[in-house]
Structure 1
Amino acid sequence: MFKVFVGIIILAIVIYGGILIYQQYLLRQLKTIDQQRQQLDIDGLDTAVAQVKTMSLTGKTLDQVQELLTDYTALNETRLPRLKAQLDQATGSAKQYRLLATRSNLKKAQDSLRVTQDAIAQLTDQIDELKQVDEQHKAAVKALEKKYQDLRKTLLAKNFMYGPSIDGLETELGTLEDDNDRFRELTSQGDHEKAAQLLAQLQKDTEHLEEMIEQIPPLYKNLETEFPAQISELQQGEATLSAQGFKYPEADMHDQIQGLNGEVKAGKDALTQLDMDKVQANDTALTNKIDHFYDTMEKEMGAKEKVTTNLDTLAKFIAHARNQNTLLTRELDRLNLNYTLDHQEVETAREFKEQIRNLDSAYQADIEAIQSNQAVYTQVLARQTQAEHDLQQIEEQQQTINTAVSGLVKEEQQARDTLQQFELRQHGLRRQVENLNLPGVSKTYLDYYNVVRDEIAKLNDDINQVQINMEEITKQLIMIQSDLDILAEKTTDLVDSAELSEQLIQYANRYRLTHDEVAKASQEAQRLFDQEFDYAKSLETIATVLDQVEPGSYKRLEDNYYHQKGTTKKPEPEAKEEQ
């Protein structure tokens, strides 16, 4: 029982100790919050609020300040006393060991402190912003006054540089000064919201005025001195050139130049109205037109010199082309009697003649225009340049045609000589075969021979027509040359096979009685020779058997044949050797 009692006492002591420790913790927390409360810059805020109260404020700015003062009053009369009361109540609860109530009041005090700190910071920021805006507006008033004074000095000292725009500029400046006075008034009254709106417009309008003051002098100088001087020079130049007989691509260029003074006046009117977009557009348009008129007159003067130089050269070129065309036409007419001209040479020459006639007509028209002072020299020069190009093309093409047809007579003679050679060669091949007194020739050889003979006959007929086509003749010559070469090879093969076959059949007689196979082969070879006229097959038949009976005999007899003939054996195709 005693031990239980002792345990209870110890437990009570521990609990009491814990309560004391927690009590001290809460009291320290409350003390910290109270210290933070006491550190709040209420005096600085009071001073700032007092300064705001002394400011003369109107409009929405006054409404904002009144709302600010209401918040300040609520802070002083409600928030701060409530925070103090919460701290006192929490401290009393802690001392009475009402720890749960103390903890609740501590939480409320912490929240109230945070809200109070935020409120003070917000009020301070609003007051600082208000004071800053007030200072900025006062500084802006002074800066604008200084700027307007400088602008007015510029306009007074350099009013000659602004011409008719000076009155408008001074009016604009006066309006800005009036607006600045209104801005100063709003600032002094403390209506900073309206003052800020007016300041933004003032700054925009001031920038626009400064831009005009900078832009106008060079524009006015152009309108007052540069453009009039250039227009006067253009008028004098145009009058002088017109008196000398110059004409221009633009028939109304004289009127256009005279109208430039009206555009100068329009530019000055726009300057008077300070319509800068119109003034800029007018300046650009006048600059471009004046440059264009200068350029036009310079081109016409330069073109006249070139045109004058080209007249004699072009006349000779046209005469040369006409003479060349006449000679070509005569030659084509003559050749057309005997030859077929199938590349439209005659038609092309006639087209060239018409082109030359048109070029000459244009040339004569330009001469008349120059003599009557109606010529636009740049246009004449362009026609001369094109005419020279066209004449050059015509000359080159006429030379090409002349070169192509000039060799027709020579080509015809060469073709006749070649035809004669073909006929002689054909007859020579025929005599080679006839001299052998063969029993006949194969149908294949005879057909090919007849084809070549007919080709030569057709060529002979075509070349003896009244009007011949040399292009077609040339094609026939090439074809016949190839076919004759093939016929010559076939003839050589036929002659060699026939003569060798006869020699081998005679040579084989020495073996006919002793070798039945030789007798049979000899009989078959003779049949192929006499009846089928297949001399190559006949040769192959007897040669094969002889080489079996007497190896090397065919090669010896063949070599001896070609030796006596004075030629060598034609190499056999590779495909045949492989077989």
Structure 2
Amino acid sequence: MWIIIAVIVIIAILIGLGWVVLTQRQAAAQAVDFSLAKKALMDEDIATDLAAARKVALAGQALQNFQETEKIYRDLRNHRFAAIDAEINRAMQLSAGLNVWKTRKSLQSLLDQMTEAVSLQKQVVSGLESIQQENKMQRQAIDQLHGDFDDITERLTAMNNPYGPSAPALLAFLSDEEDEYQRYHELIEAGDRVKAAQKFEEVGMIAGQVLDYMQNLPILFTAFNEKYLDQINELHTSWLDLTDRGVVFAEGVLEDALSEVDDLRLQGLQAIEGLKVKEANTISTTLNQKIQDLYDLMEEEYQAYHRYFKQQERVNTEFDRVKEQNHSLLLELTYLKGRFILGHEEEDRQSSYHHDIEELVLSQQEVQRALKEGSQTYSWAVTRQENWLSILSQLDSDQVALYHQIEEFQPALQSAKEHTTAYIDQIRGVKRSLERRDLPGLPEDFLQKFFTVSDEITRLDEAVYAGEVDLDDVQRQLNIVAADFDTLKEQAHTVIVAADLAVSLLQYANRYREQNEEVAKALKVGQKLYQVDFDYDGVIQEMKPVLQEVEPGAFERLQKNQDPVLL
């Protein structure tokens, strides 16, 4: 058994060794392939193409592209390829051993480096092609500019040239460019390619500036000489027209602003004359914004002019309403003052509202005078109007609230009179109800309460029928009467119930008078409490125990059989 296992293990080891040897041989072959691929990359004629591009008269963007491309190629030749050679050697060494994992890792690293090297080499090739194309296009542009020299010169010297005051400086600049262009060709013919490249760069820069001037200066000249001039004239005409219509502008604002924008326009023309395109563009941006601000200002004042008159109608309507409200309040308070005591500063409030209305009148007169004199604008007047409307709205709300408050005086007084009459009738009813009971008398505490409430009702009656009614005092007195009268009714009901029960107890106990001495004594005391002291509750307390003693349940039965009491 052990022999079979040993044979199997040996066979497995031999198979494994065979797989390792085969895999490492394949790795060695792949390393050789990478070496050949790297050699193929190095054999390309990129170095020759770079040398050719370096000899070309480069300038501008083409020069920047060349420098970037050359930097990439140097890194590729000096570092990347060297790193690839080192990794190839390492892979070859590893493939001679048995560490398959390290060998595969080295081959993967080689693959990554070769892939990146191929990508960079393609970038270099593409960059060289782009350089040639840009250089070709730049040459064509310079050659075309040279070819159009006579035509451009003719346009610059024409009477109505599109370059305006910049024409002389631009013509001189163009002549310098032509001189440099001729010098460039002389260097080419002389075979001095280094100086030719330098001169070409100078020519390219000058040509670029010339083309930039030719493209931008006519646009700027048209803007300053036509567009902005037309807008300034339009603003001036609009200003005069609006002023004739009655629109008011702040004194000196438009004159100064129009003078400032015209000065800026002239500064822009001076910048153009000196070929200062950047400065002219900055001035143009500023000028355009200031002109737009002036248009906005005129539009704002024009709209405010119309809004003022339209809004003034609303102001007048609101003003007439609050003024009429205030007059109505004055009349109503004058009438009420003869009948009521005004205890909540109603007159002071009406007077305060009247003062606010007078202040509004003065404010409107001030605005009208300022507009007539032209010392203030309609936009300012509109702001004042909006403030008036806010004040008028608050006045309307406050005066309506005050009117609602004082219009309740008469209904409140009438309601108090009705309540007073009702309380007088009710206390008389209580009195009659007690008199119908034919009681020997009433308890002292009840009588005190009765007379107190009667006096309170009398004071209430005097208050509601006074020459000048104090509604606050009437309301306080009414509240007192309402609370005390309820208590009085409860006490009257209690007295009558107790008196009826006392009578029943005395009458019922009288049947046991001869039979029970305790009942006789209690009956004697109870009769005194009833007839002399008018203490009906005392009668009940006296008779209840003895009656319960002689006849249990009699008290509860008598209490249950009492007739309901209605006042």
Determine if the TM-score, normalized by the shorter chain, exceeds 0.5: yes
Match of 2:136 in 1: 142
Find the residue that maps to 2:341 and give its secondary structure: coil
- Structure 2: give runs of 5+ residues left out of the alignment: 1-27, 56-66, 79-113
Question: What are the within-5 Å matches in structure 2 for residues 149-160 of structure 1?
Answer: none
Distance 1:50 1:499 in 2: 138
Find the residue that maps to 1:356 and give its secondary structure: helix
Whether 1:233 aligns to 2:204 is no
Match of 2:551 in 1: 549
Q: Are residues 550 and 140 of structure 1, via their aligned partners in 2, closer, same or farther at CA, if it must alter by over 3 Å? A: closer
Match of 2:391 in 1: 390
**Are the equivalent residues in 2 in contact too, given 1:148–1:173 (CA < 8 A)?**
no
Once the two structures are superposed, residues 28-73 of structure 1 have per-residue CA deviations (whole angstroms, 9 ceiling, x without a partner) of: xxxx9xxx9xx99999989989979x99999xx9xx9xx9xxx9xx
Report the more deviating stretch, 308-317 or 252-261.
308-317
Cα distance, 1:484 vs structure 2: 0.8
Distance 1:450 1:169 in 2: 123
Distance 2:489 2:54 in 1: 131
Match of 2:347 in 1: 346
Q: Are residues 344 and 212 of structure 1, via their aligned partners in 2, closer, same or farther at CA, if it must alter by over 3 Å? A: farther
Match of 2:270 in 1: 269
Distance 1:363 1:153 in 2: 75
| TM-score normalised by the chain length of structure 1 | 0.61
Question: What are the within-5 Å matches in structure 2 for residues 108-507 of structure 1?
Answer: 141-148=135-142, 167=169, 171=173, 219-249=220-250, 251-272=252-273, 278-308=279-309, 314-315=315-316, 318-368=319-369, 376-433=377-434, 436-441=438-443, 443=445, 445-446=446-447, 448-449=449-450, 451-460=452-461, 462-463=463-464, 467-507=468-508
**Are the equivalent residues in 1 in contact too, given 2:145–2:207 (CA < 8 A)?**
no
Q: Are residues 425 and 237 of structure 1, via their aligned partners in 2, closer, same or farther at CA, if it must alter by over 3 Å? A: same
Q: Are residues 371 and 545 of structure 1, via their aligned partners in 2, closer, same or farther at CA, if it must alter by over 3 Å? A: same
**Are the equivalent residues in 1 in contact too, given 2:329–2:350 (CA < 8 A)?**
yes
Match of 2:85 in 1: none
**Are the equivalent residues in 2 in contact too, given 1:245–1:373 (CA < 8 A)?**
no
Cα distance, 1:465 vs structure 2: 5.7
Q: Which letter does structure 1 place at the counterpart of 2:361?
A: D
Cα distance, 1:243 vs structure 2: 3.3
Distance 2:404 2:361 in 1: 26
**Are the equivalent residues in 2 in contact too, given 1:500–1:558 (CA < 8 A)?**
no
Sequence identity, in percent? 20
Cα distance, 1:395 vs structure 2: 3.3
Q: Which letter does structure 2 place at the counterpart of 1:340?
A: I
**Are the equivalent residues in 2 in contact too, given 1:145–1:177 (CA < 8 A)?**
no
Q: Which letter does structure 1 place at the counterpart of 2:400?
A: Q
Return the index of the structure with the highest Cα Rg: 1
- RMSD, matched Cα: 5.8
Q: Which letter does structure 2 place at the counterpart of 1:243?
A: D
Distance 1:154 1:476 in 2: 113
**Are the equivalent residues in 2 in contact too, given 1:512–1:519 (CA < 8 A)?**
yes
Cα distance, 1:359 vs structure 2: 1.8
**Are the equivalent residues in 2 in contact too, given 1:318–1:360 (CA < 8 A)?**
no
Once the two structures are superposed, residues 329-353 of structure 1 have per-residue CA deviations (whole angstroms, 9 ceiling, x without a partner) of: 2432443354333333212211221
Cα distance, 1:560 vs structure 2: 5.5
Report the more deviating stretch, 131-140 or 354-363.
131-140
Q: Which letter does structure 1 place at the counterpart of 2:327?
A: T
Find the residue that maps to 1:513 and give its secondary structure: coil
Find the residue that maps to 1:340 and give its secondary structure: coil
Distance 2:408 2:43 in 1: 124
Cα distance, 1:470 vs structure 2: 0.9
The number of aligned residues is: 473
Q: Which letter does structure 2 place at the counterpart of 1:260?
A: V
**Are the equivalent residues in 1 in contact too, given 2:250–2:376 (CA < 8 A)?**
no
- Structure 1: give runs of 5+ residues left out of the alignment: 1-31, 72-120, 569-579
Q: Are residues 555 and 372 of structure 1, via their aligned partners in 2, closer, same or farther at CA, if it must alter by over 3 Å? A: same
Distance 1:549 1:44 in 2: 138
